[in-house]
């Protein structure tokens, strides 16, 4: 259900203008419903979306966020542009392409908040013979769900290494993100590609009886990729992000964003971001990866400050994160 309209039993509820009436303490209050596009079940976006929704709805009952499973970043962007979503979770690489107009028109969508950093890497069974990215060449690899940003990140990184994802590997694209771990565990895939700390697919592998081992670019490979694709950033997954992971893992990747449709009102954006950053600690407790969802990180992660929603920039200036 979008912020723009909701139709039920022949009654039109003007959610943004008039609001939906509800009773609280004997008084009628106006509620605005905001749709949030996430991704396919079993991936990191639905996990973050659920935690984000829980914290935000508790913080302000007059702004009701409703998460919706989608096919991921590449569906969320056009749905936002068409006004069929109010907010959408979008990985860094699809966002970069949309902001730059790569293989598509430049988007007018705006950044509400930077979610978290997403260093990319592969995971294999602990008993796997594969040790490096080059070892995986020619093998069946689950690169993520169709329409999600993960296969795009891997495509950029592999391109930086002189590899072609769909020619040098037997690429597998999933209908549901949650299908990947089982494919590696039963041998249908040699490895699963994913990103970030606490990512559900990696967590499922690490907690399995077979155990898990991670394969990330070497220092030389990271430098090589960044020389070709400098928008990708060097990042580190801290030790303890996954069971039995005792050492940090260096890789590279990008920041994922909550994007807003271009005509989302400044007032709504301001209220959303104010509620979010007043409750950063609550979101962090729900999901360690979301501890990175901060006002300072939003300003730092945005490719350009002009891409941040004006209502958000108003708040960032008020709290001293952005210059007046």
In a shared domain, residues 149 and 110: no
In a shared domain, residues 41 and 133: no
Residues 215 and 190: their CA atoms lie apart, in Å, by 12
Strand partners, 23: 28
In a shared domain, residues 127 and 90: no
In a shared domain, residues 132 and 76: no
Looking at the 3D structure of the chain, how many domains does it have? 2
Residue at a domain's end among 254, 270, 296: 254
| Residue 323 is assigned to a structural domain of this protein | no
| Residue 199 is assigned to a structural domain of this protein | yes
Residue at a domain's end among 203, 235, 254: 254
Burial zone of 112 (CB within 10 Å; 0-12 exposed, 13-18 middle, 19+ buried)? buried
| Residue 202 is assigned to a structural domain of this protein | yes
Neighbours of 163 (CB within 10 A): 17
pLDDT score of 81: 98
In a shared domain, residues 132 and 162: yes
**What is the extent of the structural domain holding 159?**
118-254
In a shared domain, residues 213 and 277: no
In a shared domain, residues 287 and 226: no
Q: What is the pLDDT along the chain (324 residues), one digit of tens a residue?
A: 444 433 333 333 333 433 444 455 556 668 999 999 999 998 899 999 999 999 999 999 999 999 999 999 999 999 999 999 999 999 999 999 999 999 999 999 999 999 999 999 999 999 999 999 999 999 999 999 888 889 999 999 999 999 999 999 999 999 988 999 999 999 999 999 999 988 999 999 999 999 999 999 999 999 999 999 998 999 999 999 999 999 999 999 999 999 999 999 999 999 999 999 999 999 999 998 999 999 999 999 999 999 999 999 999 999 999 998
Largest CA-CA distance found in the chain, in angstroms, rounded: 66
In a shared domain, residues 248 and 125: yes
Structure token digits, residue 6: 């909701």
CB 122 within 8 A of CB 38: no
| Residue 79 is assigned to a structural domain of this protein | yes
**Residue 188 maps to which CATH number?**
3.40.190.10
| Residue 324 is assigned to a structural domain of this protein | no
pLDDT score of 16: 40
In a shared domain, residues 294 and 218: no
| Residue 265 is assigned to a structural domain of this protein | yes
CB 112 within 8 A of CB 273: yes
In a shared domain, residues 230 and 263: no
In a shared domain, residues 134 and 242: yes
| Residue 198 is assigned to a structural domain of this protein | yes
* φ and ψ at residue 21, rounded to 5 degrees: -75, 140
pTM: 0.80
In a shared domain, residues 231 and 161: yes
Residue at a domain's end among 227, 254, 281: 254
| Residue 31 is assigned to a structural domain of this protein | yes
């Amino acid at each position: 259900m979008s912020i723009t309209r909701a139709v039920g039993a022949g009654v039109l509820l003007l959610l943004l203008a008039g609001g939906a009436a509800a009773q609280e303490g004997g008084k009628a209050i106006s509620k605005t419903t905001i749709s949030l596009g996430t991704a396919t079940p079993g991936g990191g976006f639905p996990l973050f979306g659920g935690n984000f929704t829980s914290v935000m709805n508790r913080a302000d009952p007059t702004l009701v966020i409703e998460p919706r499973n989608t096919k991921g970043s590449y569906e969320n962007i056009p749905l936002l542009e068409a006004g069929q979503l109010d907010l959408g979770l979008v990985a860094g690489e699809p966002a970069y392409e949309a902001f730059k107009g790569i293989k598509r028109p430049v988007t007018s969508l705006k950044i509400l908040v930077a979610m978290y950093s997403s260093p990319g890497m592969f995971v294999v069974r602990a008993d796997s013979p594969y040790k490096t990215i080059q070892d995986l060449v020619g093998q069946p690899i689950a690169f993520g769900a169709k329409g999600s940003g993960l296969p795009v990140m891997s495509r950029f990184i592999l391109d930086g290494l002189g590899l072609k994802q769909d020619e040098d590997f037997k690429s597998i694209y999933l209908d549901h993100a949650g299908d990947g771990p089982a494919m590696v565990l039963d041998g249908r895939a040699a490895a699963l590609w994913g990103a970030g700390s606490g990512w559900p697919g990696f967590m499922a592998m690490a907690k399995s009886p077979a155990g898990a081992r991670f394969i990330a670019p070497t220092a030389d490979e990271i430098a090589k990729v960044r020389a070709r694709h400098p928008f990708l950033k060097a990042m580190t997954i801290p030790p303890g992000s996954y069971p039995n992971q005792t050492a940090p893992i260096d890789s590279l990747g990008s920041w994922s964003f909550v994007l807003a449709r271009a005509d989302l009102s400044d007032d709504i954006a301001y209220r959303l971001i104010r509620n979010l950053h007043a409750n950063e600690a609550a979101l962090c407790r729900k999901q360690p990866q979301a501890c990175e969802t901060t006002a300072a990180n939003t300003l730092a992660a945005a490719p350009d400050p002009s891409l941040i929603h004006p209502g958000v920039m108003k708040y960032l200036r008020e709290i001293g994160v952005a210059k007046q």
